[in-house]
Structure 1
Amino acid sequence: MELVGVPTPAGGTVSCRTWPGQTRPFVLVHGLASNARLWDEVADELSAAGHPVWAVDLPGHGATELPPTGVDTASAARAVTAVIQAHLLAGAVVAGQSWGGNVAVRLTADRPELVGALALVDGGWIDLPADFGTWDECAEALRPADLHGLRADDLRDRLRQSHPDWSDRAVEATVASLRELPDGTVERRLPIPAHLAIVRDMWDHPPGPWLARITAPTLLLPAIPQDHARAERTRRRVAAAADLLLDNTIREYADSDHDLHAQRPRELATDLLGLARR
C-alpha cells in the first residue's frame, strides 16, 4: 500500500491509499465520518487478484483536510472525479459505502464516461426525507455524539465488544476516523457542524434523480438487520432504488453490520470481483 496525494479543483489535496495491479481499477469511497482505511482488507483481496485499487479519503475525513468552503455530496464526488482523471482510472469499478454510496451515485450520474460499474455497499439509496418527517427530527437523530473525554483505548474496547467478528485492522481503522490526542483521548476529524452540513445536503438532495440517470451495471449490497421491521424497510428502500436503475443486481448480506467492508471484507471483495468481470 502507498499513500498518494491528488490535487482537487477546490484547491486542496485528497489523500488516497493505493494498491498495485494491472487489470481493471477499483475506486473505493468511504462513508460519512469514516476513512479510507476501512477498505484495507477489501483492497488487499482486490489487489491480490490483479486489480489496482484507490481508496479515497474524502475532504474532511482521514488524512484529507476539510476545505474552507466545507463539503457536500457534489463536492465529494468532484474530489473522487479528480482522482480518476489524474490517474487515468476511467472505466473503474467505483464502490461506495453508506454516504460514500450516495457520492458514488452522484459521480456516476454526472460523469458516466468515468465509471465502468458501480457497487453500492449499504448506501447510495439513502433518502433522508423518506425516513424522517422533518429536518429537525432528522438532525436530532443523526447528530454525532459528544466524545469529550472518551479515551481511544476505551473506544477500542467498545468496538471489540460490539463487533467481535471484526479484525484488529478493522477496529484500528475505525478508531482512525477520529484524531487521537497526546493525552489518550479522541476528537472528531470532521467537526460536528460540518457533519451536520453534509446530513443537511443529503436531506436537500435525495439520490433518486441521479439513480435514474445511471446506465452502468450496478450491484446493490444491503446489510439486512436481524430486526424484521428494519429488514423489510431496508428491502423496500433497496427495491425502490433498483427500480430506477437500468442494469441492477441485488445481493443481500443477512444479519450484517452497516460496515460490511469491516465485518465481511473477503466476501465483499468476492462480490466486487464478480462485478468487475462483467
Structure 2
Amino acid sequence: MVLVHGGEHSADCWDLTVDELRRLEPNLPVLAVDLPGHGATPGDLTSVSIADCVRSAVQQIENAGLREVIVVGHSLAGLTVPGIVAALGRSRVREMILAASCLPVQGEAIVDTLVGPLAWYVRRTVRRKKLPVTTPDLLSTLIFCNGMTREQRRFTLSRIHAEATTLIAEPVDRRDLSDDVPRTWILTLRDHALFRRTQLRSIAALGGVHTLIPVDTCHDLMISEPRLLAEILIERCRLRSRA
C-alpha cells in the first residue's frame, strides 16, 4: 500500500490511518511517501514539477522493495498518482485509488478547474508566481477540517506545510496512463475544499472510474475517519489479492 499526500501536507498526514492499517492488517507493507520539498524529501518548492514528484515517489517505492502495489492519492496527489501508476506499469500496480482528489482535463492545470473558496485562494496564490504558499489556519480549518473533533483539527493544523504554486499552474499530461489499471474513487460527501460536483468533474476528466465509494466526511478523511479509510483500503487489497 503506497500512500501519496496532497497539497500542503506530507507523509505524516497519514499517521492515524497507518496506525489503523497496522492494527487491522499487521503484515501489509505500507509506505507513505514524502514528495519533494515535504517532510524528509528535499526539494525546491519554487521550481518543483509534476515529473519531479513522480520520479521521487517511484524511487521511494523502489527503495522500499515493493514489487506489487496499490497506489492511493489524496487531493493534489491526483496530479502525481497517474504518473506514478504509468511509470510502474500494469504489471506492478494492482489498483489506483484517488480520495477527495482534483484532476483537470488533459492539457489543463488545477488552477483552471477549481470552484468555491479554495478556487479564489489558489488563483490568488498563483499570481504570486513561484513563491511557496501556506494556507492560513482559519481557511485550513474551513476547507480541510469541517466536522472534525478539536483533537483532529489540532492534529491537522500541526501538519500543514508550504506548497509549490508551480504544481497548481502546470498543465497535466496523462497520455501514458493505461486504461488497464483498476480505478477507485473515494468521494468525500461533506468536502469544503473539493465539492462533490468538483470531484465528479474530475472523475469525468480522468475518463471514469470502476468503483465509487462515498464517505460522509470532510476533505482530510485520513484524519477524520482513519479507521473507516483503513478498512476500505484493506478491503481493496483483499479484493486484488483474490483477483
Q: Give TM class, smaller chain.
A: 0.7 to 0.9
CA contact (8 A) 2:99 2:185 kept: yes
One of 146, 152, 160 as aligned partner of 1:177:
160
CA contact (8 A) 1:36 1:62 kept: yes
1:199 alignment counterpart: 168
Sequence identity percentage = 24
1:46 alignment counterpart: 21
Q: Secondary structure at the match of 2:80?
A: helix
Pick closer, same or farther for the CA change 1:110–1:224 going to 2, 3 Å. same
Q: Secondary structure at the match of 1:89?
A: coil
Q: Secondary structure at the match of 1:252?
A: strand
More strand by share: 1
Per-residue CA deviations over 1:197-226 (Å, capped at 9, x if unaligned) read: 11111xx1154x355x24222211121347
Q: Which runs of 4+ in 1 moved over 6 A?
A: 144-148
Per-residue CA deviations over 1:177-207 (Å, capped at 9, x if unaligned) read: 34xxxxxxxxx4x4xxxx2111111xx1154
Q: Secondary structure at the match of 1:220?
A: strand
1:273 alignment counterpart: 234
- Larger relative contact order (C-alpha < 8 A, sep ≥ 6)? 2
CA contact (8 A) 1:29 1:101 kept: no
Amino acid at match of 1:200: A
- Structure 1, unmatched stretches of 5+, are 1-25, 179-187
> Residue 249 in 1 paired to residue 214 in 2?
no
Pick closer, same or farther for the CA change 1:166–1:206 going to 2, 3 Å. farther
Structure 1 window deviating more from structure 2 (67-76 vs 82-91): it is: 67-76
Shift, 1:71, TM fit: 1.7
CA contact (8 A) 1:39 1:261 kept: yes
CA contact (8 A) 1:36 1:55 kept: yes
1:5 alignment counterpart: none
Amino acid at match of 1:118: M
TM (normalized to structure 1)?
A: 0.66
1:19 alignment counterpart: none
TM (normalized to structure 2)?
A: 0.75
CA distance in 1, matches of 2:56, 2:47: 13
Per-residue CA deviations over 1:121-141 (Å, capped at 9, x if unaligned) read: 1116344376269xxx89625
Q: Which has the larger radius of gyration?
A: 1
Pick closer, same or farther for the CA change 1:45–1:139 going to 2, 3 Å. closer
CA distance in 1, matches of 2:68, 2:176: 19
> Residue 78 in 1 paired to residue 55 in 2?
yes
